[in-house]
Amino acid sequence: MAQVVIGIGTSHSPQLSIRAKDWEYLLKKDQTDPRLDYPALLKRAKPGLEAELTPEKFRERDEACLKAVGNLGEALKKANADVVVVFGDDQQEQFHDDNMPMFAIYHGKSLPVVKDSGLRPSGWKDAERKGWAETQPEYDTAPDLANHLIGALTDAEFDITRCNKLRAEIGVGHAFSFVYRRVLPGGKIPMVPVMVNTYYPPNQPTPKRCYAFGQAVRKAIEAWNSDKRVALVASGGLSHVVIDEEIDQMVIDGLKNKKPEVLFRLPRERLWGGTSEILNWVALAGAMEDRELKYLEYVTTYRSPAATGCGMGFAYWM
């Protein structure tokens, strides 16, 4: 039977691919982002943030993140996995309000990666692309495993949407392409994308449901009639675009101390926007509940006096 050999959690924020000297592009974006009330954020930001916003601090945090991403890539290589199953959110890359599944699994025969994904050029986006490794236009998938997961999770009474095509102009979503662009540059490991609707109400899964989903995915993988070695990855989070250190520390407590009840208490009203990607980590925690947390790094990358940035998380279980 197949075995899960490693579980990896990683942020995938654009800030990870933009070097510290160019974080000013993100500040400009934040000031005009229609999702944010930047003046209101300025008023309620915690005092003392000025100390976080120096060029020296930016470089220090940027270097810490680069090192952490590299550590995850090395751990994944050493695990010698044959296939990776990724918990990631779809930000209306494949699904829209006319059809927004809670859980979806892609079981197509190849995985397209589109470099530009149809997005218009912008200062921060161009800077992000410069930080990506060169990728292939297509990667292998593991359709046998994907089909097995769809059937096994359905039997476990999860309502699973399946799709075997991705939007041609978009390709696979950024939560998944991040593995090839940053975690494993030059790697060609086949992937099964598992899309979790963390972003869009009203059908976001609860933390408790995500944990149970991760447990079921692990059980299904280990029941797969194969000798393959499988890696699991949670892509996204922790808190952003506005950093919420309280939520991040709650997640870290639940992960480090194997306290699922802490994860279940995560306040859903604060799991909005990119912060909602924490739910992918909760699914991974369910899958790896009996494994040892070998590595955990947390880096706050504040980039503005309004507390915008990302609480970057990097971890692996074996």
pLDDT digits (tens, 9 = 90+) for 206-237: 999 999 999 999 999 999 999 999 999 999 99
pLDDT in tens, 149-192: 999 999 999 999 999 999 989 999 999 999 999 999 999 999 99
pLDDT of residue 120: 56
Whole-number Cα distances in Å, 272 to 242, 276, 278, 294: 10, 5, 10, 29
Q: Would you state the structure tokens that stand for residue 204, as one six-digit string?
A: 């976001």
pLDDT of residue 133: 87
pLDDT of residue 117: 60
Q: Which single residue is written with the structure tokens 């086949």?
A: 190
pLDDT of residue 130: 86
- Given the DSSP bridges, would you call strands 191-196 and 103-106 parallel, antiparallel or unpaired? antiparallel
If residue 86 lies in a helix (H) or strand (E), which one and from where to where?
strand 83-89
**Count of C-beta atoms within a 10 Å radius of residue 122:** 12
The answer to whether the peptide bond before residue 202 is cis (omega within 30 degrees of 0) is yes
pLDDT of residue 126: 84
Q: How far apart are CA 19 and CA 86, in angstroms?
A: 26
> How distant is the alpha carbon of residue 268 from its chain centre?
18
Sign of CA dihedral 239, 273, 135, 102: positive
271: nearest Cα among 208, 199, 213: 199
95: nearest Cα among 25, 200, 15, 9: 200
pLDDT of residue 121: 56
Decide if 140 contacts 188 (C-beta within 8 A): yes
Q: How far apart are CA 267 and CA 269, in angstroms?
A: 6
Task: Tell me the pLDDT of the chain (318 aa) as tens digits.
Answer: 999 999 999 999 999 999 999 999 998 999 998 988 999 999 999 888 989 999 999 999 999 999 999 999 999 999 999 999 999 999 999 999 999 999 999 999 999 999 776 455 567 888 888 889 899 999 999 999 999 999 999 999 999 999 999 998 999 999 999 999 999 999 999 999 999 999 999 999 999 999 999 999 999 999 999 999 999 999 999 999 999 999 999 999 999 999 999 999 999 999 999 999 999 999 999 999 999 999 999 999 999 999 999 999 999 999
Q: Is 119 exposed, middle or buried (0-12, 13-18, 19+ CB in 10 A)?
A: exposed
> How distant is the alpha carbon of residue 261 from its chain centre?
22
Question: 278-287 and 207-222 are packed helices; what angle lies between their axes, rounded to 10 degrees?
Answer: 40
pLDDT of residue 119: 53
pLDDT of residue 222: 98
CATH number for position 150: 3.40.830.10
Q: Which domain holds residue 254?
A: 3-317
> Which pTM was predicted?
0.95
Decide if 18 contacts 26 (C-beta within 8 A): yes
Decide if 25 contacts 18 (C-beta within 8 A): yes
Q: How far apart are CA 89 and CA 130, in angstroms?
A: 23
Q: Which single residue is written with the structure tokens 């859903």?
A: 268
Give CA angle at 86 (74, 75), nearest 5°. 10
**Count of C-beta atoms within a 10 Å radius of residue 114:** 17
Mean pLDDT of the chain: 94
Decide if 213 contacts 141 (C-beta within 8 A): no
Q: Would you state the structure tokens that stand for residue 126, as one six-digit string?
A: 């161009």
Q: How far apart are CA 51 and CA 45, in angstroms?
A: 13
If residue 163 lies in a helix (H) or strand (E), which one and from where to where?
strand 160-163
Number of domains in the chain: 1
